[in-house]
Structure 1
Amino acid sequence: MDSHSPTSAAPPAAAETARYTYSPRLRWQPEVEEYFNTAYGRDHFARISEALAHPSCYSCIRVNTLKSSTDAVMHKLLDLVCKNELSAVINGLEVVELNGGDQSQEGCSLVHKCPYAGLENVLFVQGSGPHVLHYGSQPDQAVKEVVVSRKCAESVLRGAQVYVPGVLACSSHVEKGDKVAVSVAIEQPVKEDGWAVGITRGTVLQGLQSDAHYEERKGLYIGQGTAAMSRSAIFRVPHGIAVEMTERVYKLPSFNDVLEGEIFLQNLPSVVTARVLDPQSGERILDMCAAPGGKTTAIAILMRDEGEVVALDRSHNKIVMVFHGLLQ
């Protein structure tokens, strides 16, 4: 993944706006790009690449039908939205409950049912983005920044905070309470024909164009927040929130502790996988790559809790994740 490069010098205000805009593009190996250009056509493949570089603007929720129903969960989510307990991070969206699938009403439906047959236990929660965020730095003040890993950035764009293990680099002199810009490290090609981030955890960011990691913050900015601890603490402690996000380029609600046990946040392809398997009551199912447990629990629910699911993964920590999912 790469960032767009400006073609000419821009005024300071415009340069800052461009820097703090989420504007990535995918960079393919030449032979792979040529293959897909031939298969899809250059214009079509360019649109596919553009879409793949941006996260989804909705969250997919699977309802635990052993504990609740899709309609009941939908009404609970709408109630939370109306009380501003779920939609605080979503701007400009009007909540409309759809009747009979009619989407002609004004406004944007924030919560709606999956329209595909066989997926009646799935709900979509709408978000928004990308948004242009202004850091608001002063000419005589250095911008304080944090660079995070790709997996951390994916979670942030889905509504999570920045946790300590996901931080790779940070500006010097960052203290608790400071405003920081958050960007994601770019994976770059390396000599061994592979890809690597090329940034060592604990790197000090200089904030200058001469900094080796300047481009990573320039084109893959994901938001801004408040440092929950100092730079020294971020690289000293093993756990905890490093940055509490206040603005994101993509705004989606966080479902942490929301209707726990009644809903599971899960990507639609994973939901479809369990449905296509079509597990039946009394069967014995082997899930060989089970963490974090989404498909494992989906299979168990489809079996109506009658049968056996053997969940395996490669590490103890991953199995613990599955166990916590099952406890819900």
Structure 2
Amino acid sequence: MFLSSLQSWLSKAPNYTIFRVNKLANFDCNILQKFLEVQSKELNSSAIPKISFVKPDCIVIEQWPEGTAVERSSSEVIVDTMCGAAVLRGSHIYAPGVLGLPTNCKLDEKVDIYADLDGQCKRGLKLKYDGSKLYVGTGQLKMLRYELFDNEIQAYGVAIHMLLPASRLPVINETVCPKGQLLLQNFPSIVAGWVVDAKPYEHILDMCAAPGNKTTHLAEMSDDKAHIMALDKTEQKVAKIKQTCETQGVTCVKAFVFDSRKCHSDEITDLKSPPFPSNTFDKVLLDAPCSGLGQRPQLKESKMSPKMLQSYKFVQRKLFGAAVRVLKVGGKLVYSTCTITVNENEGMVTWALENFPCIQLIPAEPFYGGPGLPDVGLSDEQRIMVQRFGPEEDPLRKVEDLSQNTIGFFIASFIKVSDHKINSGE
């Protein structure tokens, strides 16, 4: 019932585009300003989207003003829902996402973009699609049919240069600035980094680190002087972490292919690689694998089974147990997810406090999200200590529109107060 009540909110794109600014680079905000001024001429808009800073390392760009529009086209291009969601967030359209394109379209022609909501459009469609579809924006065609569909090899690159998404978000990404200065990131993910509050020379573990966005944020916060271990399960994911570190100019991160559920072992004394002995880290970030049901926009309802939904908490519990063990007494553990389910959020906090007498819940400051949900196991005193990002309004803590019009997200923070025995609740 809770999930279905949020479906309307989840189906819409956030109202803001968020960039994280790299503290290690010299960023010039005028570059963004000038880029949007060029776009405003393409759109015949007299104003550009408002740009503001939440903190020096977080830029918010709002939608184009109401009334901003482009002339629609009679030519329809069909894309898959993943591509459609990206368009609504301000992305151009890349070749793999295109499903259908009329035969008579010409290069640089204006086309209307529709997402295939049924998932029934066959790749290479020439005719008008009569299935369920959603208009997501208008753009200019940059690839013709033969480039997209007539080759045996999958085409890549920008197939449609977007002019204006239906969400009115600006079409912009980090490539408008010199490499490594900006990173597109959801607002709550940036807040999670602020909650960790990395300092120089601290020993920090990022347990599920790919693609490295939060990892590099922690490094940048510490002026690239913390000692950060970043783990993930596959070589591909760890390669992405290393690539992100290189792009951001970060050198204080060591990344390893390792299952973080097994990152604790008291048979090991070497702190240079996993597994790690007890009481190794000053801070641990557990941005846990989750159902991902907070992502927006979701253009079709999730078909995840109840059994699959229930399965995530068991992985999260294993990871949490390992996190507590490798955390120093007096150290901070930050737990976060990009989902909206109670089991993976407030339920995890309740479970953790019941099974780990050695930890205490502490305020997940700085606060930008709302409190935890009521009547799901946490007291009001505990609810006010966590952050839940979503459309809910709660008198315990009022939040700005930025925090309600982002993705669904959850953050909780704990301190390890002793080495007391851990209950066997994993």
- TM-score, normalising length from structure 2? 0.49
List aligned pairs for 1:51-70, cutoff 5 A. 51-68=9-26
Q: Which residue of 1 aligns with 2:177?
A: 259
Residue 93 of structure 1 and its aligned partner are, at CA, apart by 6.0
Residue 125 of structure 1 and its aligned partner are, at CA, apart by 1.4
SS at 2:155 equivalent: coil
SS at 2:101 equivalent: strand
Q: Which residue of 2 aligns with 1:155?
A: 86
Native 8 Å contact 1:172 1:204 kept in 2: no
Change (3 A) 1:234 1:298: same
Residue 295 of structure 1 and its aligned partner are, at CA, apart by 0.9
Q: Which residue of 2 aligns with 1:228?
A: 142
Residue 323 of structure 1 pairs with residue 242 of structure 2: yes
Identity of aligned residues (%): 27
Residue 123 of structure 1 pairs with residue 80 of structure 2: no
Q: Matched residues in 1 for 2:207 and 2:99: separation?
A: 31
Relative contact order, higher structure (CA 8 A, sep 6+): 1
Change (3 A) 1:289 1:239: farther
Structure 2, gaps ≥5 residues long: 249-426
List aligned pairs for 1:191-230, cutoff 5 A. 197-200=119-122, 202-207=123-128, 211=130, 213=131, 215-216=132-133, 220-230=134-144
| 1:213-267 deviation per Cα after TM superposition (whole angstroms, max 9, x unaligned) | 2x21xxx111122222222321333311111223322231413422332222211
Q: Matched residues in 2 for 1:291 and 1:320: separation?
A: 9
Residue 324 of structure 1 and its aligned partner are, at CA, apart by 3.4
Residue 73 of structure 1 and its aligned partner are, at CA, apart by 4.1
The one of 218, 228, 240 aligned to 1:309 = 228
Q: Which residue of 1 aligns with 2:51?
A: 111
Structure 1, gaps ≥5 residues long: 1-31, 38-44, 96-108, 138-142, 189-196
Native 8 Å contact 1:147 1:185 kept in 2: yes
Q: Matched residues in 2 for 1:87 and 1:255: separation?
A: 16
Change (3 A) 1:224 1:198: same
Q: Which residue of 2 aligns with 1:278?
A: 197
Q: Matched residues in 2 for 1:57 and 1:308: separation?
A: 36
Q: Matched residues in 2 for 1:281 and 1:311: separation?
A: 16
- TM-score, normalising length from structure 1? 0.61
SS at 1:300 equivalent: helix
Q: Please, which moves more after superposition, 268-277 or 247-256?
A: 247-256
Native 8 Å contact 1:182 1:224 kept in 2: yes
Change (3 A) 1:255 1:303: same
Q: Matched residues in 2 for 1:269 and 1:66: separation?
A: 21
One-letter amino acid of the structure 2 residue matched with residue 295 of structure 1: K
Q: Matched residues in 1 for 2:40 and 2:230: separation?
A: 35
Residue 300 of structure 1 and its aligned partner are, at CA, apart by 0.9
Q: Matched residues in 2 for 1:60 and 1:123: separation?
A: 6
Change (3 A) 1:133 1:67: closer
